[in-house]
Chain A
Amino acid sequence: MDDIQLKKSATPYDAIIVGSGAGGGMAGYVLAHAGLKVLMLEAGPFFDPKTDSMQLKWPYDSPRRGASTNTRNFGDFDGAFGGWDLDGEPYTTKDKTEFYWFRSRMLGGRTNHWGRISLRMGPDDFKGHHIDGLTDDWPITYDEVKPFYDKVDRMIGVYGTVENLPNEPDGIFLPPPKPRLNELFIMKGAAKAGVKVIPGRGSVLTEALPDNKDRGACFFCGQCGRSCKVYGDFSSSSCLVIPAMKTGNLKVISNAMVREVLTDKNGLATGVSYVSKDDMQEYQASAKIVILGASACESARLLLNSKSSAHPGGLANSSGVVGKYLHDSTGADAGGWLPVLQDRKRYNEDGTGSIHIYGPWVYDNKKLNFPRGYHIEFGGGLGMPGYGFGWGMEGLNGTVPGRDGKKKEAGGFGASLKDDYRRFYGVDFGMAGRGTAIARADNYCEIDPNVVDKFGIPVLRFHYKWSDYEINQAKHMQDTFQHIMHEMGAVAWPSPGADTSYGLEAPGRIIHEVGTVRMGDDPKTSALNKFCQAHDCKNLFVVDAGPFVQQGDKNATWTILALSMRTAEYILAQRNKLNV
């Protein structure tokens, strides 16, 4: 690079959106379809699942047989570039606490690889203070969000069943996929253990979406994690951004890493500055409205890095709450295998790449030693072999009788061992608990005063600790898993104990981090109003998971989509009233 130039774009846009994931994508979709001229800045490359997905590749199409890499933490075929460590883009932690920040810099962001588990938060998730006094209420109720959940269901498509459960609202559902064989055993065992299991809820088109010519119906390869070439599942790239581009009103600039939001002397947003990864030049783009959808932590970082005389503590941060109340879902997993399924008949059991069965939290926890609850995601079946297949046979093949009815010596080699791999194929299953973590002011991200990334942008420093509530919840998950597996007649893999906090994943590992730019009615205790509009800057909005006040046990994406749509419609209404 010879010299750096600052290039200012001539055209002011109606709106600039930072980020192209679920939140940014939905805002772009709504605004572009309404005729606004929108610029979307994405920090990573352009990505279209139609041409770029690894769908239907075989394990041998990867030299590492699909094993994970530092560019794809969920495997060589995964739909998301990136991971917990990005080259040249560090983050730090303080006071020996832990947080892992998963970033996917690409069009559509993390929606290209997610599990498509699409859950509405319930009335008690929005207003949970009355239950135990531990959480702050959202300024909005479930009933206010419901019409937007309904619209998201119709527009994007989600399968499931109407169950009429108290805090697990039903949606407008496509038919769910039938359970796989291992999942039938789980259902039977769970019923005996008193654990509620219902059909899964996933944003996969098990039937064609009415009136949509651009998206194909699912053909059941089970590979949603790779992103779908026929757009049969929800990715922001395929379902929102690319359709919005077709209106001619949305322009996407990829490889554009935003530094800060620019403001004028009155404190209003005027645009953003960014560095282009393509030519390493510095750019400024201007707009009447700035919308952040960069992810909960990245949006907090942008706001905290956008300091000015009007906003000395960072933009939208006169309350000082930006970065605080960071919370990720709790997570603990278990699994095992079913001896009865040895030598099972083969057939195509790929199904969908989202969950087929789901365990909602429907229990009274007044007598439990943790607040709120968790749901359980189940899976198992005759999956496609990949790196790791057959691993650990020496711990398995000595535990049950062989074909001749006699127990054999564990481990081994030769024809008899080769046969064991066939006999044990498809016998295993897994279950994963995902639960409510209480949002706390002392779990936060802030700007590290000493460290910048390779673009010279100050980086985030995290401070995050689990409390006994989350650890107790993980123990309850493990006890529940063991109970189910016992009733299934399964052999459980070794269960994690107190020394590992019962397998409770470190904060950030579940990739449901939310809450860093929370909404509220009081500008002293919140950054945004109930329409995700900054209290301190009326033409600035946040549409990712930053605005969440308190996450339920439900995965965040469906709520991000509903809130982003609601915010975009609010922007349109306010524009008509000439307020912004």
Chain B
Amino acid sequence: MNRRESLKAIGLGTLSATAFLESCKPKGEKLAEDTNTQNGPDDEAGRLPTEVARDKKLKEEKFFNPHEMATITVLGDIIIPKDARSGSASDAKVPEFIEFIVKDMPEHKTPMRGGLRWLDVQCLNRYGKSFVDVSSAQQIEMVTEIAYPAKAKPEMQQGVAFFNLMRNLTATGFFTTKMGIEDLGYVGNSPNQWKGVPIEVLKQYGMEDMA
């Protein structure tokens, strides 16, 4: 079977992989609406029954309370705001991803819950209100204290550790959505013919003789 035949065999043809995924989904759902959710298409083909049951159970559980989710949402959008190229962390439903991932990876639960509380207590002592209730300027002032590991004050170290985790989860959550992938410019995951590094790129790095 040649390449074109093999793509036809799995229903790809000259269509993009996105269209292929759409064809696998249950009828009546639109891909564009749910690609930014943490759930994605619920395609169970090839999944073990234990995997399907595990994910269903995780999705039904709730870990963060509404106040914690609100705090995560504000923090996420401070870390990854909307800009000219793409939306914010909450536009990409990063808080929902974080809610899922701490249930899936319980080692994140206490650092996240405790870190959120640490942040609130800091704000309470400084400004008399919890993090979500202080002004935007105060939020940035607080975050600035814990966002730069090398220059943070020693007494801020626990906050730094929390913010590192929050930054990492936010980035991973954002850049693994459709919005984040488009922002990043990853253009793979679709059938093609790999012929090596494009010539203009080889020239840019003086590698013409290597390929």
Contacts and interface: CB of A to CB of B under 8 A. Distances in A.
Contact of B10 (A52, A178, A229, A409): A229
B33 to A, nearest CB: 12
B194 A352 contact: yes
Interface in B156-179: 163-164, 167-168, 171-178
Contact of A221 (B9, B79, B184, B190): B190
A230 B143 CA distance: 50
Contacts of B187: 346-348
A57 B21 contact: yes
For A389, A390, A413, the residue with the greatest tally of chain B CB atoms inside 10 Å of its CB is A413
Interface in A193-231: 208, 212-223, 229-230
A349 interface: yes
Interface in A36-73: 45, 47, 50-54, 56-67, 69, 71
A230 B3 CA distance: 9
Interface stretch (A378-386, A516-524, A555-563): A378-386
Contacts of A114: none
A129 B51 CA distance: 48
B186 A385 contact: yes
B184 A425 contact: yes
Interface string B71-104: 0000000111101000000000000010011001
B168 A392 contact: yes
A350 B200 CA distance: 18
B1 A60 contact: no
B150 to A, nearest CB: 5
A345 interface: yes
B137 interface: no
Nearest to A215: B1
Interface stretch (A146-154, A166-174, A414-422, A448-456): A414-422
B178 A177 contact: no
A53 B101 contact: no
A383 B181 CA distance: 11
B147 A415 contact: no
Contacts of A422: 183-185
Contact of A390 (B35, B105, B175, B211): B175
A187 interface: yes
A237 to B, nearest CB: 12
Nearest to B101: A64
For B20, B46, B100, B177, the residue with the greatest tally of chain A CB atoms inside 10 Å of its CB is B46
Given A216-B9, A221-B189, A409 B200 contact: no
A81 B59 CA distance: 22
Given A184-B207, A386-B176, A411-B147, A63 B193 contact: no
Contacts of B147: 411-413
Given A64-B104, A347-B201, A421-B175, A415 B83 contact: yes
A280 interface: no
Q: Report the contact-size class of chain B (Cβ under 8 Å from the partner).
A: 35 or more
B171 A51 contact: no
Contacts of A409: 148, 150-151
Contact of A71 (B9, B20, B50, B194): B50
Contact of A411 (B20, B54, B148): B148
Nearest to A386: B176
Interface stretch (B36-44, B62-70, B109-117, B125-133): B36-44
Nearest to A223: B189
B175 A389 contact: yes
A217 B172 contact: no
A390 B81 CA distance: 16
Nearest to B204: A345
B27 interface: no
B123 to A, nearest CB: 16
Contacts of A188: 207, 210
A340 B205 contact: yes
B124 interface: no
A543 to B, nearest CB: 27
A29 B100 CA distance: 44
A215 B3 CA distance: 10
A187 B176 contact: no
A413 B79 contact: yes
Contacts of A229: 10
A52 B197 contact: no
Contacts of A415: 81, 83
Interface in A162-192: 177-181, 184-185, 187-188
Nearest to A182: B197
A220 B193 contact: yes
B164 A411 contact: yes
B149 A410 contact: yes
A417 B9 contact: no
A363 interface: no
B106 interface: no
B83 to A, nearest CB: 5
B40 A63 contact: yes
Given A51-B46, A409-B148, A413-B147, A221 B191 contact: yes
A387 interface: yes
Interface string A368-405: 00000000000000111111111111100010000000
Nearest to A390: B171
Q: What are the 10 closest A-B residue pairs judged by CB atoms, nearest first?
A: A216-B6, A178-B196, A390-B171, A52-B46, A346-B185, A59-B176, A219-B191, A350-B188, A230-B6, A61-B40
27 contacts: A58-B35, A60-B38, A63-B100, A64-B101, A69-B54, A178-B194, A184-B197, A213-B1, A216-B3, A216-B6, A217-B1, A217-B3, A219-B7, A221-B189, A221-B190, A232-B6, A345-B204, A348-B188, A348-B190, A385-B181, A390-B172, A390-B174, A409-B151, A410-B150, A413-B78, A413-B167, A417-B80
Interface of B: 1-3, 5-7, 9-10, 12, 17, 20-21, 35-41, 43, 45-46, 48, 50-51, 54-55, 58-59, 78-81, 83, 97, 100-101, 104-105, 143, 147-151, 163-164, 167-168, 171-178, 180-181, 183-198, 200-202, 204-205, 207, 210-211
